[in-house]
Amino acid sequence: MKKDHKRRRSLRLGLRAKILGVSLPVTIIMVIVMIAIAYNVSEADIMASSQSLLSTSAKDQSSQIEAWLNRKLDEVKTVKYDLERSGAIKDQKQLQRKLNDYYGLDSAFVGGFYIADTKGNVMQASENQTKYDGATEQIWYKEGLTRMNPGYTQAYEDSEGNMMISACGMLDDPDDVRVLATSLSLDSVNIIVNSSVSMQGAESLLVDQGNGDILTSRDSELVSTSVNEASDSFLKKVAAKLQKDDDSVSTIGDKVVVTREISGTDWVLVSYVPKSLITSEVDNLRNTLIVVAIICLLVFVLLNTLNVSFTVKPLKVLSRKIKAMSDGDFTIQIEAKGSDEIAEIQHSVKVFTENMREMICDINNVTNDIQNQADNSSVVSVSMQDASNSQATSMASLSETVDQISDSINEIAESATNLSGVVADTTSDSEKVKEQINATVDISRKGRSDMERVQNAMEEIRNSIAQLVEAISKVGEASKEITGITGLIANISEETSLLSLNASIEAARAGEAGRGFSVVATEISKLAQNTASSVDDIAKLINEVDNLVDAAVKQADVSVENINESGGRIKVAQETFEEIYTCVQDVDNGINSMITQIQTVNNVAMDVSAISEEQAASTAVISETSEVMVEQANKLAGQSEQVAGSAKVLTQTSEKLAEQMSRFQI
């Protein structure tokens, strides 16, 4: 277990590395997220502003184009009105003069104004050298026949490859059907499309939505081409957008595109700007933020490392001291500085260390007391065992003596019976009878002496048992004192567990930064659990000792009662022996008059026979009592051995407790 514990410690990362390992990635992620959010928000804002600016630019361009078209159309209407109101349409010469006057009126009107009739005849300014062959087949003529108010035709390409439009309308002449028309170059429109873009980097196309032709473009090669037949993917997507009549701001490829219809025409102004131009400022901002973030991260790592090192330093010192305490060294001194959670833990560990020193001192003292009591109990148990063996030997001797007395009484009974049967031979056998009476007196005297010795042995046994009970009582009192001390140790262990629980709660509140506190609380909890486990073992051993002491006391009380009862019976037997001795003396005194008083001797012999029978019955009772006393003495000897074994176990327990306490240094 210790090796595994050391291995786990060796694999464990330091608290500083853990804090930096968590805070640094989180900070980096937060910075990256902030940069990404700032970039996306800035990009969205710039894109919205750029789209708005591009839309405004397209709106301004379309307004300029519409204004130019309307202005030129108003000029055409003015010319038409002048021709109609002046009566020039009725006079060919005046009409020709008017056409000549209007030639060069505006450079936008290429070739001035010209008039065609249904026969294909064309009247134009003298300076206009343009040939209008097949006038009735021209688009300006056909569309002019459809309206009285001048209007624009679709764009077309002239013989020189220039994009042109015509403004045309019917003259109000009831006598003839004629169309007034003029050709307008789209160069002015091209200038508006290419040079009136208010957004830097933006470009525009003017597309005829009817046929898809590109009317104006900065790229001259695209002019007169169709977006529907273009090979460029961007133009293809523009064509698809125009077909859907989608006038919203959209992103096509890498360009932001805005479309706007030109009022009064089929033209659509397509304005676009590369997205990279819009986001260039945002990209610069992003790069700047990244550089600033890297510098801030380096400063943060440096400051955080110093701060964590300063914060973790007292925890490292406290961890080393707690490790020393877990190895049993309580000689260390802990200083609590500050008012934060670490200082509270230091103060708690300091109080715990002081309490453990006092507790270990008390346990060492109690251990010495237990060992002394165990030694005394061992000595007393040995003495009690010797006394029990002596008692058993004495009771065996008593039993043998009672057997001898019983045999003697039986002999007396037999002699008395023979005496009553041969009373006639009493005279001749008187000497023999006297000798037998003398032998009886000697035996009675010996029996009385043996009974006195039995009485003295019983008194010694009673005193030994009293001493044994007193010693067992002292052992019980010592075990109670030990129980009180173990209770105190258990209370201290519970308070330590509560302290570790509070430390764990504080560590949980501190989150990731409090894992070091949790390690400290775990070590304290383990120490408290080991202490509680040792206290439980001591309590169990003391409980076993108490049970053995109670059993020994109960058995000693039973033995005392049996010995007292046996003493009473022995006293009765002693009194009986006194009576026998007195009777035998009386018999001895009457022997001298036996010869002359045969009848008296006969009566006395009969009395002796009856008394002998009673004595035989008494000796049988005494014999049974002595057997019971022998059995009780053997039991007492066995119980003395149990007490000796319990004292030995108590001695081993105290030695084990002393060995456990030797691990602690105070």
**What are the CA-CA distances from residue 461 to residues 126, 183, 340 (Å)?**
171, 156, 72
Residue 162 pLDDT more than 90?
no
Query: Helix or strand or coil: residue 223?
Result: coil
Share of the chain above pLDDT 90, in %: 7
Residues sharing a CB contact under 8 Å with residue 275, sequence separation 6 or more, in sequence order: 251, 254, 255, 256
pLDDT at residue 604 in the model: 61
pLDDT at residue 662 in the model: 67
pLDDT at residue 4 in the model: 47
Token pair of 578 as six digits: 């006194």
Are the beta carbons of 222 and 214 closer than 8 angstroms?
yes
Q: What is the bridge-based pairing of β-strands 214-217 and 156-157? A: unpaired
Mean pLDDT value of segment 370-377: 70
In terms of average pLDDT, the best of 90-99, 373-382, 576-585 is: 90-99
pLDDT at residue 664 in the model: 64
Long-range contact set of residues 100-107: C-beta below 8 Å, sequence gap at least 24 = 100/125, 100/126, 100/127, 103/127, 103/128, 105/75, 105/79, 106/72, 106/75
Share of the chain above pLDDT 70, in %: 65
- Which position has the higher pLDDT, 111 or 321? 111
| Bridge partners of residue 270, in order along the sequence | 205, 259
pLDDT at residue 256 in the model: 86
pLDDT, one tens digit per residue, over 452-479 is 776 776 677 777 667 766 766 776 676 6
- The dihedral through the CA atoms of 587, 588, 594, 597 has a sign that is negative
Query: How crowded is residue 367: how many other Cβ atoms within 10 Å of its Cβ?
Result: 23
What's the mean per-residue pLDDT of the chain? 75
Token pair of 80 as six digits: 């038409």
pLDDT at residue 180 in the model: 93
Distance CA 239, CA 228 (A): 6
Distance CA 501, CA 518 (A): 9
Between 264-273, 437-446, 561-570, 604-613, the lowest mean confidence (pLDDT) is in: 604-613
pLDDT, one tens digit per residue, over 68-104 is 999 999 999 999 999 889 888 888 899 899 989 888 8
- Which position has the higher pLDDT, 353 or 619? 353
What's the gap between Cα 309 and its chain centre? 25
Residue 316 pLDDT more than 80?
no
pLDDT at residue 113 in the model: 93
Q: pLDDT grade, residue 62 (50/70/90)?
A: confident
Q: pLDDT grade, residue 167 (50/70/90)?
A: very high
What's the gap between Cα 2 and its chain centre? 24
The identity of residue 504, as a single letter, is S
Are the beta carbons of 209 and 268 closer than 8 angstroms?
yes
pLDDT at residue 425 in the model: 63
Residue 517 pLDDT more than 70?
no
Mean pLDDT value of segment 413-434: 62
pLDDT, one tens digit per residue, over 276-285 is 777 777 777 7
Q: What is the CA radius of gyration of the chain?
A: 69
- Which position has the higher pLDDT, 37 or 502? 37
pLDDT, one tens digit per residue, over 106-119 is 888 888 999 999 88
Are the beta carbons of 193 and 61 closer than 8 angstroms?
yes
pLDDT, one tens digit per residue, over 233-242 is 888 888 888 8
Residue 368 pLDDT more than 50?
yes
Token pair of 167 as six digits: 């403004």
Domain annotation for the chain: domains and CATH numbers: 44-276 (3.30.450.20), 342-661 (1.10.287.950)
pLDDT at residue 535 in the model: 67
Residue 9 pLDDT more than 50?
no
Closest listed residue to residue 352, CA positions, set 525, 482, 168? 525
Q: pLDDT grade, residue 178 (50/70/90)?
A: very high
pLDDT, one tens digit per residue, over 533-575 is 776 777 777 777 677 767 766 776 776 677 677 667 667 766 7
Are the beta carbons of 331 and 665 closer than 8 angstroms?
yes
pLDDT at residue 2 in the model: 43
Between 5-19, 23-37, 416-430, 584-598, the lowest mean confidence (pLDDT) is in: 5-19
pLDDT, one tens digit per residue, over 324-350 is 777 777 677 777 666 666 777 767 777
- Which position has the higher pLDDT, 187 or 521? 187
Query: Helix or strand or coil: residue 131?
Result: coil
Q: What are the two backbone dihedrals, phi and then psi, of residue 500, each rounded to the nearest 5 degrees? A: -65, -35
Residue 39 pLDDT more than 50?
yes
Are the beta carbons of 434 and 640 closer than 8 angstroms?
no
